[in-house]
Every structure is written in structure tokens, then in C-alpha cells.
Amino acid sequence: MSVLDRSWVRITIAALIAVGLVVVTGADVAVAKQRREHDRKVAAVRAERRAELSFLAKLAPVADDVFRAAAPVQAVLAALADPGPDDIYAARDALAHGGSLAALRSLSTRLHALRAPAGLRQQTASLVKAVDAMKDALTGLSAHGKQEGFDALANALGGDDATGFGTAQGDFIDAVVTSYGHQHAKPPFTSDADGPRLRGTSTSWIFAADKACDAAYIGLVPVVKLQKQTSVSALRQVVTLWGTQLGRLATAFARVPQPRDAARLPLTVTSRLGIIKSNAAIFGQELRAINHQDPDAFDLAARRLHELLPSLAQLGKALRTYGAVHCGLIMAIWAGDKSAAKSGGGVTAT
């Protein structure tokens, strides 16, 4: 083979090597590009997941607060499914003057301000819609709650508006579960049964206070007839009824969880709740005086009762101001307020 031939071979081999290098380099560039694209996609998915988890962490306390605001209203409406004689006015005051509506309005604003990641926008929209529906339903219930007619109240509080609130509350829980299910994360609650621990609210306190006052009021109805009698036996029954009903009322007040924070009971209420127990104790003194046939002790106890009446009237006024309007009216009647007695009837502690 000539020198020329050998040069041609060397040039050919060099060219092939160069082509091979170009091909390999091109393949490496393509692979690197694909790897970078894959890494970008993985990073985007991870970033979206982090954003969603961060959003759900912010959503959890808001959802808890919505649940706590809605639960007292649902309890009121549940009581009206088969209402007793002491439920209707308690429901009126709790829905018209309780803090659940203000809380739901504030929480609705907070939810509207949240910016959900793309993957959770639909679920968040459903959740916001459900909370707004609860707020709107309660707005209607509160308006009905300011009515005075028993039949109108019963129809409004047990009708379509109540159903609307219950349906919206169910939709809210479903939206919460769906939002967390998107990330296969555990939702804060999945039903009414496993929701966050409930705190005392102004709505729940007003409802319980009105019910307790009305139960005592109804329990004292027999006093109206007994007061017309002049026998010692009738007097003993009157005093026993007063002591028993006021004692039960004092116990009921003590058992109701008091609201905290902005909805907490004012000092004008808390400082005077002991008046109920004091009244019950004095009626106990009157009963002992009757049983021991001690007129002096009876007169002393009667004077103490009259001394407590102004404080009882002040408690009634404070209760009305807080929102337990019906309970406050009953206190005014017991304290001897003639205008209250004319509007509500009943017996006085005199």
C-alpha cells in the first residue's frame, strides 16, 4: 500500500471518529435537555404539592372556626325539630342576638382572602360557597328570630331556612374532606361527630339561659293559683316551688359553658348570677321558718327577698342587653316589674 493510500485511511478514520463524536455529543445534549425538562417538571410538581400542603395548613384553623361557629346554630335548629314549650323563644334570642352570624361573616371574609393553588381552586370555591350559604341562611333566620308571634317563629325556624342551613353545613364538611383528599391528607374532620372540640359561644349560652329561665317560669305556673289561697299548706307549697325552681335555675346557669374572648359574658351578668342562688337559699329559710312555725324568722327572710329584688331586676336588664331577652324579661317579672308582668304575665317573687 502506498503512502498515499495510508494517508487516505488515516483521514477516513479521523472523519469517522469526528462524526462519532458529534453524534455522541448530540445525544448527550438531547439526554441532558430531557433530564433538565424532567427535573423542571418534578420540581414544579413538588412546588405545587408544597403550596397545596401549605394552603391546607392555613385552611385547617379557619375550617375549625367555621365548624365551631355553625355548630351552636345547628344545635338550636335540632332542638326545634320537635320543639318543647321552652324552645321557641330561646331559639329566637340565640339566632337573633348570638355571635354565630358575626363569626361566619368574618370567616367568610377570611376564606375569600385565601389564594388557593391551582389544584385546589375548585375545592376551595365549593368550600367558600358553602360557608356563604350558611351565612346567608343564618341572616334569614336571625331576621325571623326578631319576630314576636309564636306561630310565625315556629314556621320560620322549622322551615326551609333551617333546612338550608343544615344542607350548607353538610356541603361545607364535604368540601373540607374533598380539599384534603386531593393531597391524600387527613382532613381535620369528616362529620359532625368528629369535629373540633366546641367552646361556649354567645349563641349556645343565650339558648341555654333562655331555656333554663323558661323551664323555671313554667315550673312556677302553679303559684298563680296557690297565691289566691290563705292556708299555711298553700304558703308552704308556694315557698317550696320558688326554692326548687330557683335552685334548679342556679344549677343550670352554673353548668352552661361561658363564652370567652369577644363574646364573653359582661361583668354586669357574671357579678349578679349569684343572685339566683341567694334567692333560692332565702326561700329555703322561709320554708324552715314555716315548718318551725317561726313568724319572726319568716318575716326576716321575706325582708331579705325584697332587698334582693333590685339586684334581680338589674340582672334581668343585663341579660336583655347581652341577648338573652326572654330570660331577662322573666327576671324583670320576678323582680316585680309591672310593665314586664303585663307583657309576659306570670308571678313575682313578692
If you write DSSP's letter for every residue of 78-89 in order, what string do you get? HHTTS--TTTHH
Residue 106's pLDDT band (cuts 50, 70, 90): very high
The DSSP output letter for 159 is S
What is residue 118's DSSP assignment? G
pLDDT digits (tens, 9 = 90+) for 268-283: 999 999 999 999 999 9
Residue given cell 343550670 in the structure block: 252
Contact of 327 with 207, CB cutoff 8 Å? no
pLDDT at 92 over 70: yes
**What is the pLDDT at residue 5?**
59
Residue 15 pLDDT > 70: no
pLDDT greater than 80 at residue 109: yes
Cell reading at 312: 334581680
Overall average pLDDT of the 279-293 stretch: 93
Q: What is the pLDDT of residue 87?
A: 82
Averaged over 285-289, what is the pLDDT? Answer: 93
| pLDDT, tens only, 191-246 | 888 888 888 899 999 999 999 999 999 999 999 888 888 899 999 999 999 999 99
Q: Is 107 exposed, middle or buried (0-12, 13-18, 19+ CB in 10 A)?
A: buried
Mean pLDDT confidence for 125-143: 89
Query: pLDDT value at position 72?
Result: 93
- Residue 82's φ and ψ, nearest 5 degrees, are -140, 75
For 166, the grid coordinates are 343544615
Q: Which residues contact 306 (CB under 8 A, 6 or more apart)?
A: 350
Query: pLDDT at position 195, please?
Result: 85
Give me the mean pLDDT over the 178-190 stretch: 85
Q: Where are the alpha helices (DSSP H) in the chain?
A: 3-79, 88-97, 100-113, 121-145, 150-157, 160-181, 202-219, 223-226, 232-255, 267-270, 274-291, 295-322, 325-334, 338-344
Residues 217, 223 contacting (CB under 8 angstroms)? no
Per mean pLDDT, which range of 77-81, 151-155, 157-161 is the poorest? 157-161
Quote the CA–CA distance of 63 and 70 in Å, as a whole number. 11
Over residues 339-345, mean pLDDT: 53
Q: For the stretch 6-40, what's the b/e string if a residue is b when 16 or more beta carbons lie within 10 angstroms of its beta carbon?
A: eeeeeeeeeeeeeeeeeeeeeeeeeeeeeeeeeee
Check residue 47 and give its pLDDT. 72
Q: Which three cell numbers stand for residue 220?
A: 312556677
Contact 142, 156 (CB under 8 A): no
The pTM of the full predicted model, rounded to 2 decimals, is 0.80
Angstrom distances, CA of residue 196 to CA of 35, 60, 172: 46, 10, 14
Express each pLDDT in 110-127 by its tens digit.
999 988 888 888 989 999
For residue 345, the model assigns a pLDDT of: 42
Give the pLDDT of residue 11.
62
User: Which pLDDT score is estimated for 51?
Assistant: 83
- Output the nine-digit C-alpha cell for 309: 329584688
pLDDT at 88 (0 to 100): 83
The residue behind cell 319576630 is 147
Tell me, what's the pLDDT at 80?
78
Alpha-carbon distance 144 to 228, whole Å?
39
Q: Are 279 and 312 in contact (CB under 8 A)?
A: yes
Q: What whole-number percentage of the chain has pLDDT above 90?
A: 48
CB-CB contact of 253 with 276 (8 Å): yes
Mean pLDDT of the chain: 83
